[in-house]
Amino acid sequence: MEPFPTRILVVSGAQEGSALSRTMKTICDEITRLGSVPVFVSNWHDAYAELKETIDISAILVDWDQDYVRCKDAMKKYIMPRHAQIFDHKVLVLPASQRDPFCGSKSPLMKLEAEGYNLVVPRSYPQEKIDQLQNVPSYDELLNFLEKEKLKVVPSPLNVIRSFKSINRKVLIFLYTEKLVVERLPIQVLESIQAYIWKNEETPHFVAKRIVASSYEYVEDILPPFFKALVKYVHKGKYSWHCPGHMGGVAFLRSPPGKFFFDFFGENMLAADLCNAVGELGGLLNHFGPIGDAEKYASKVFGSEYTYFVMNGTSTANKMVFQGTAVAGDVIVLDRNSHKSSMQAIMLGNYKPIYVTPVRNKYGIIGPIPFSEFNVDSLYKKAQKLPYMSSADIQNDIKLLVLTQCTYDGICYNVAKVLSKLQELDTKNMLFDEAWFPYAHFHPFYASYHSMNKSYFDKLEEDSLFHGSAYIEEDSEDEEIHRGPTPSAYKGTIFATQSTHKVLAALSQGSMVHVRNSPDPFHFDRFNTYFQANTTTSPQYSLIASLDMSSAIMDVSGESILDDVLKEVISFRCAMARVKVEFKESEEGWFFGCWQPKDILSGKKNIYDTSYWVLPPSGPDAWHGFPNIGKNQYLLDPLKVNLLTVDEEAGVEIPACVVVKFLAMNGIIMEKMGYYTMLSLFSIGSRRGKSATLVTALTQFKKLYDSNTQLKYVFTQEKNLEFGNVGLKDFCEMMNPEIKRMQEMENEVYSGKLPEVACIPFKASCALVDNNVEWVPVEQLTGRTSALLVVNYPPGIPTVMPGEVFDKIHTDLMVALAHFGEKWPGYEFEVHGLVCKNGKYYIPCLKQ
């Protein structure tokens, strides 16, 4: 595609002035003449770094002979035999780096890697021997160990092909070589390259033309269908005779303020803002043309049977699923910590909800729903207590079960076990709200912990640091940690709603609904009715293009990106633990902690393996602090980092709202906060500098806290600071009693003690529309029935549903939240449903 210039990486170690060097220069000059950009490097390591950094490289021309011969001669007797199958699926490349990311000295194995060689070990190689290898003290002992174990070392050029493909699995690779060298190339290398070009037989001009032509074909291949069609349409420069009214951005250029808008967003974005009258781009409502092709492509990439693009975020996607699977009066079982959009769907659809309740720990972190809740007897007992449930309702099928996967704090369910439970309950439809989890499909680390894992993980990349099932023997009792469920294990239809914009590379509000396992051949068409009912007839085409591009990014580079992010977040977790240990061993005492396994720095376990992050069964030694957790049921997603603002050993307790405010002043915005926790979110857009910045800022806060610096010198950007002359430490200790009291009340509210139910949510919400309500002061809520959904932040999940009765503990919590900001201005808590009039706080309740 000509709108996008191509870059071509040329790798050659030929000496300057040699015939080969002159030939490579001629090739580069011809590539430039043909309109592409050559990028020249002299060795494999620079080539890998360049490909990682210059991500838009479309083709690589490799002078294979130079590096191959150099490595072969240097390795001497330790080189792998020429005929050996080094890419055999029974081997994996062992990372030479030691377990401790902060190790300063290099082991002999690391030095071997630095010299350009890789050690290959069998997949089933014992972990104990891997640990020995990584800690062998001398080079001679390493060689003896390799000879004794009959392990092989291979030159890195052979493995670098696979490394290139791990960054971009579609990048074109051309080997510039001699016939005799080609004959000894492993078959797996030949299968991974675009072509090999013989030296001295093809002219430099021919070589350049072939590579440039292929690079344009590569661009056509990697660009997803709708984005490609949109770019081609915009570059035709057609006049606009349809809406939107700005006509490709022209309207903005007719007014001074509009010109600023035009300059800020740019002509391409405005020219791409089209309407559904442009038939050649297809249609979102009926899924035809390039838009329909984009949804089909997304379905293939994300592992579903079919996929819908949603323009209004996952809040709308959830409502689509409710409306498309259940009718008024149907029984729906759902997670009590479901997003408020699911609760709003309950209100609007006149459904009959049965709530399953998650556990919670002492920090207020919301855990998973115990599997004991997914039980016929348990649900039957719950249903009997609900006034809107008849005996017939209790006997009927469950039309929909809704789980948050993963939770806001990173807890993921073992999907195979959930689906097994659903078989027992005879649930017709299953919705996994994966708003924060759309990346899980693209890395073996999450293989058993997401809903669309149909067959993607049959192949495990050998060079991934995250071994996944690499060390799991066939008869291992922990095999279920790594294996995905058989698609036919659950007979109902499985839905996943995903906020592509939250953690992937789509624009805000861009989400997807994925569906699989549907037994009905007309299900797509039936569900589309409710898709259309909740979708605008004027979608933003840039938003559709961003969803399309997210599919392409994850298709081409998903696993490589996630590999980097997982390494980065685990490194950050280790850094936090290391700093905490160093402060503890010094006279400075305390530091912030991470909610994670306590032995992350011990070196005794593989912290890059999925099994390390699986929640252990509940007990006094279980680090997570949740009750009712069984074996291999739940996983902590390392990308959701909960930072603790308490250090129990040092006796330090700091309200999270104070730390969050300090971080925001320093340009660090946390995803959410609890009373003594803060959530830091890592995603595919995370960079290494982000982690260091956060650790530095937390260290600065600690110094200010320890020195009890006055608030006016802490929050320097605020004017008229209420407590400006109070020390930071004193201020936190003044606030602590009220924060602790609210946390205790909230723990009680969310620990399974749900309010009594007076009526179905639909009836109560209708009373609000009919104005058949009283606006009750928060101090007088006890015994009154709420007419709307009350949601307090933190934690951002329903406290009281419409039709539920406020008891004393719920009333006390509302009073505390409502008036907290009066005493502590600048630290107000957000409560949806709470209305302030003339300094007093009210909630609408049903008339008595």
3-state secondary structure of 466: coil
Backbone angles phi, psi at 787, to 5 degrees: -100, -5
Of 828, 785, 823, nearest to 807 by C-alpha is: 785
CA-wise closest residue to 350 among 757, 759, 770, 806: 759
Per-residue model confidence (pLDDT) at position 176: 85
- Of residues 342, 417, 330, 410, the one with CA closest to residue 373: 417
Residue 614: helix, strand or coil by DSSP?
A: strand
- pLDDT of 67 reads 54
Helix (H, G, I), strand (E, B) or coil at 554: helix
**Other CB atoms within 10 A of residue 822 CB:** 9
Q: Which two tokens stand for residue 79?
A: 């080189």
In angstroms, how far is the first alpha carbon of the chain from the final one? 69
* Token pair of 832 as six digits: 């949806």
Residue 345, number of CB atoms within 10 A of its CB: 26
Parallel/antiparallel/unpaired status of strands 672-673 and 152-155? unpaired
| Residue-level length of the chain | 848
**Token pair of 423, please?**
């078989």
Q: How far apart are CA 498 and CA 292, in angstroms?
A: 18
Angle at 188 between CA 69 and CA 301, to 5 degrees: 130
In this structure, are residues 803 and 760 in contact, taking their beta carbons and an 8 Å threshold?
yes
CA 785, CA 758: separation in Å to the nearest integer? Answer: 7
Integer CA distances (angstroms), 504 to 36, 462, 683, in order: 30, 25, 7
Using DSSP, state whether 208 is helix, strand or coil: helix
DSSP character at residue 2: T
The span from the CA of 230 to the CA of 304, in Å, is 25
Amino acid, single-letter form, for residue 226? F
Query: What is each CA distance from 49 to 22, 46, 57, in whole angstroms?
Result: 25, 5, 12
- The whole-angstrom separation of Cα 569 and Cα 579 is 15
* pLDDT at residue number 126: 79
DSSP 3-state of 462: coil
Tokens 């539920």 found at: 804
Q: What are the CA-CA distances from residue 188 to residues 10, 18, 121, 383 (Å)?
A: 22, 31, 18, 59
Cα gap 358→350, rounded to integer Å: 24
Alpha helices (runs of H) in 487-534, residue ranges in sequence order:
500-503, 523-533
Other beta carbons within 10 angstroms of residue 713's beta carbon come to 12
Matching residue, tokens 């998973």: 368
Between CA 612 and CA 623, with CA 617 as vertex, the angle to 5 degrees is 60
* Number of Cα atoms under 13 Å in the Cβ half of residue 811: 15
Q: Which of 312, 363, 365, 356 is nearest to 338 (CA)?
A: 356
Alpha carbon distances (Å) from 614 to 24, 421, 568, 597: 52, 19, 19, 10
- DSSP character string of 299-324: HHHHT-SEEEEESSHHHHHHHHHHHH
- Tell me what pLDDT residue 113 has: 61
Contact between 711 and 731 (Cβ < 8 Å):
yes
Q: Give the model confidence (pLDDT) of 478-511 as tens digits.
A: 444 444 444 446 778 999 999 999 999 999 999 9
Q: Enter the tokens of residue 846.
A: 């049903």
- Measured CA to CA, the distance from residue 492 to residue 451 in angstroms comes to 13
Q: In angstroms, rounded to a whole number, what is the distance separating the alpha carbons of residues 25 and 33?
A: 12
Counting as low any pLDDT under 70, the low residues of the chain are 1-3, 15-17, 20, 65-106, 110-118, 120, 122-124, 152-159, 179-189, 454-489, 720, 752, 794-796
Q: How far apart are CA 833 and CA 343, in angstroms?
A: 13
Contacts with 636 (C-beta within 8 Å, 6 or more apart), sequence order: 410, 411, 412, 596, 613, 614, 615, 624
Q: Which domains does the chain have, with CATH numbers?
A: 7-222 (3.40.50.2300), 225-271 (no CATH), 567-737 (3.90.1150.10), 738-846 (3.90.100.10)
C-alpha triplet 626, 800, 671: angle, nearest 5°: 60
At 442-474, the pLDDT tens digits run 998 998 898 887 553 333 333 343 433 232 233
Asked whether the beta carbons of 493 and 304 are under 8 A apart, the reply is: no
Nearest one of 441, 397, 436, 435 to 415, comparing CA atoms = 441
Tokens 């080539």 belong to residue: 47
Q: What is the pLDDT of residue 89?
A: 28
What are the DSSP E strand ranges found in 737-805? 773-777, 790-793, 797-800
Say how far apart CA 413 and CA 634 lie, in whole Å. Answer: 5
C-beta separation of 153 from 117 below 8 A = yes
If you ran DSSP here, which 8-state letter would residue 597 be given? -
- Looking at 596-727, list the stretches that DSSP marks H as alpha helix, in order from N- to C-terminal side: 656-665, 688-706, 711-714
d(CA 448, CA 405): 12
Task: Name the residue among 675, 681, 682 with its Cα closest to residue 644.
Answer: 675
Q: Which of 467, 369, 509, 441 is nearest to 123 (CA)?
A: 467
Q: What is the DSSP letter of 602?
A: S
Structure tokens of 614? 């699986």
